[in-house]
Structures are given as C-alpha cells and as structure tokens.
Amino acid sequence: MSKADKIFIDMCRDILENGSSSEGEVVRTKWEDGETAHTIKKFGVVNRYDLSKEFPILTLRPTNLKAAIDELLWIWQKKSNNVKDLNSKIWNSWTDEEGTIGTAYGYQLGIKHKYKEGEFDQVDRVLYDLKNNPYSRRIMTNIYNHQDLHTMNLYPCAYSMTFNVTGNKLNAILNQRSQDILVANNWNVAQYAILVHMMAQVSDLEVGEFVHVIADAHIYDRHIPLVEELIKRESYPAPKLIINPKVKDFYDFKVEDFTLENYESGEQIKRIPVAI
C-alpha cells in the first residue's frame, strides 16, 4: 500500500466515523436537482507527505495527473483567470460572459508588489527568495485577497503556500479553507506536490515534506457510499515521478515534462455528482 493511499483511507475513515454532519444547518451548496448538499466533516485535518520517499498519488483510483498539472500551470505559470488558457472544462461553471473566473487564483498571483529588491509578483518573489535567500522564513504566497473577493467568481479554496528550506530540502505547506474530499483531495495533493518538485528543481534543491492543512475537510452525503467502497479497494505501490531534468526555468515547464512510471490503480469512479 502506498503511503498516500493509507493517509487517504485513514482520513476518510476518521471523517465518516468521527465527523460532524451539516444536517439542520443552513448550507450554500446544492445538487443539480436543487436538493441541499449536506456534508459530514472534520475540522483542521493535517496530512504530511514525504516527497523524497514517494510521489503522493492515489492508486485506489486513478488521478488524472496531466489535467491536474495543466490546471496548476494555468494558475501558477500562466497566472491566468481565463478558461481559454486551460485545456479542461472544470472551471466552466464559474466563468463570466468574458470567459474569466474574475479576480481569482492566477489573477492574484500575477499582481506585482513592491519590495526593497524591486517589483515582483508572488510567484517570482518565491523563485527569487529560493535562489537568493533560501533560509528565509518569509517565503509564501496568499491569494485570499479580501479587497478583491467581491469580483471573484469563486473564493479560493487552496489559498496559501508557505515554502521552507531545511538543509538542501524544500518543504511546503498548503493551506486550504475547504475541500470536497472525494472530488478534489488527491487532485490538489498531486498538484501541489508537483509544484514543490518544480520549485525545487529550478532552485537546485531536493524535495522534502509537503504538508496539507484543510480547515473544513468534508464528504458530501451522496458521496458517502462511493467513499466507503473506495477505501475498501486494493492498493498498489506508489509510482515513480519522472521530471525532465533539462528544465531549469520555472516558466519552461510543460505538462509533457512530467510522467509517472509504473502507475497502477483501481478503476475510475464514474458519474460522481458534484455539488455547487
């Protein structure tokens, strides 16, 4: 069993056995048929992944790593808020008439800020510090900009990254305010593990620990039987992540520069209902 599978199974069991139901509460989310989408949740879930030992992708069911990386590059590399720059339709429900998601996600990372060393956007500031001041305790990004929330079509879920170098290893913490565990958990874990690998490679560092902090980790009511079936499945050894070693500039990475070697998984769960 891969460590990522064990972490996922233990988290899901904890939510199902010890979580709190939203029944009786006023909630925003609904199913496509108009019914209220209730959840069972745990507050303050913290999962730790040692990226030096394995790449944390689920084997219980496949995670579409190519699509996850494409979205990651859309946000962190292209710093875009327009879905035409994305090769999937996962953001279509939150787009406006101009095809944007408002001032959210990549838009925030692309805003330049003044520092004593000059002007940088948040991504470039991280890259600058990892090369010039790697042991700083101030290397972080935050896209939960309260001033712009009113023009965001969706408030950021994964909103903050903190990078920290120990020795020659790059560690990182992802803070997430809310997460749909079945739909998005391993998608985000794999994405941001890739981001740590990218940042490490272009900064001549090795990967260390990736810590995922979820404030509201929830399983929707209609997902419960799917999760119960999923965590009973056979698990496989973790695959090996292969990254094109020739890429030395963060902005040169492409989806094709990442491959998984010996990735085995169970069958995909089809027709997962999504609450909006």
Query: Would you list which residues are annotated within the binding site?
Result: 64, 137-138, 177-180, 188, 218-220, 275
Q: For residues 39 and 219, is the Cβ–Cβ distance under 8 A?
A: yes
Q: Is 12 considered catalytic here? A: no
Which residue of the set 67, 154, 157, 215 is catalytic? 157
Give the max Cα distance, the chain: 55
3-class secondary-structure state, position 213:
strand
Which tokens sit at 77?
Answer: 């590399």
Cα distance between the two ends of the chain: 33
The residue behind tokens 């999923």 is: 230
**Residue 134 exposed, middle or buried by CB count within 10 Å (0-12, 13-18, 19+):** middle
Phi-psi domain of 138 (left: phi exceeds 0; alpha: psi -120 through 50; beta: other): alpha
Residues belonging to the active site? 157
